């Protein structure tokens, strides 16, 4: 079982200052991302009425971004919908996309200076049939996650913790033992993809 077989890879990166992340601001920012984007974005939706879920969603053909409050923790959720034409989806490639988008969010002046934590990430797979939330799936995917995060935090510089609740999708919390700048994470992650 290889992770690149799945087109349903999700990542969540958490805010360092969640009080600065406002759903209406993300609604405006996401709308401004649609013109001239290489991604085919379809719609922006307001889901503030949903409890413990996405607040603002930018739906794309290949990827969807959300200001997400699931688990009562606010962050940016990246959801891969399908592989690019003629391409595969990998852990490193999707993580690079998340970091690139996080930089865009931090640089967007309409988003009130939101900042991301750089030592904690949530990795999810939205495909219960192919990737059930069990120890076997974790064992089969751990090598790819270790390869990525060893290149970022060093061997033994992070922990991987699977959420064992069988009612949840397969998800792993990555906790780095040190913090890097977002730029450093981007550079190291890009090197890992080569």
Are 67 and 56 in contact by the 8 Å Cβ rule? The answer is yes
Whether pTM exceeds 0.95: no
DSSP, res 177: S
What pLDDT, on the 0 to 100 scale, is given for residue 1? Answer: 45
**How many other C-beta atoms lie within 10 A of the C-beta of residue 172?**
20
pLDDT > 90: percent of the chain: 75
Per-residue pLDDT tens over the stretch 36-82: 787 889 999 999 888 889 999 999 988 999 999 999 999 999 999 88
* d(C-alpha 144, C-alpha 24), whole Å: 36
* Nearest CA-CA partner of 74 in 109, 110, 38, 111: 111
Burial of 42-56, coded b for 16+ CB within 10 Å and e otherwise, reads eebeeeeeeeeebbb
- Residues of the chain with pLDDT > 70: what percent? 94
74-88, pLDDT tens digit by residue? 999 999 988 776 666
């Amino acid at each position: 079982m290889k992770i690149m077989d799945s087109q349903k890879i999700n990542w969540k990166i958490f805010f360092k200052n969640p009080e600065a992340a406002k759903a209406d601001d993300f609604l405006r920012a996401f709308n401004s991302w649609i013109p001239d984007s290489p991604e085919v974005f379809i719609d922006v939706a307001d889901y503030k009425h949903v409890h413990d879920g996405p607040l603002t969603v930018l739906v794309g053909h290949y990827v969807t971004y959300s200001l997400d409050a699931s688990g009562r923790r606010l962050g940016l959720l990246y959801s891969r919908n399908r592989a690019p034409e003629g391409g595969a989806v990998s852990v490193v490639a999707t993580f690079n996309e998340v970091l690139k988008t996080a930089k865009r969010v931090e640089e967007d002046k309409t988003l009130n200076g939101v900042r991301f934590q750089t030592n904690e990430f949530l990795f999810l797979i939205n495909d219960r049939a192919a990737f059930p939330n069990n120890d076997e799936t974790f064992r089969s995917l751990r090598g790819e996650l270790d390869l990525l995060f060893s290149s970022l935090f060093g061997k033994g510089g992070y922990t991987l913790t699977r959420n064992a609740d069988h009612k949840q999708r397969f998800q792993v919390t990555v906790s780095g033992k040190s913090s890097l700048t977002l730029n450093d994470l981007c550079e190291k992650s890009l090197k890992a993809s080569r």
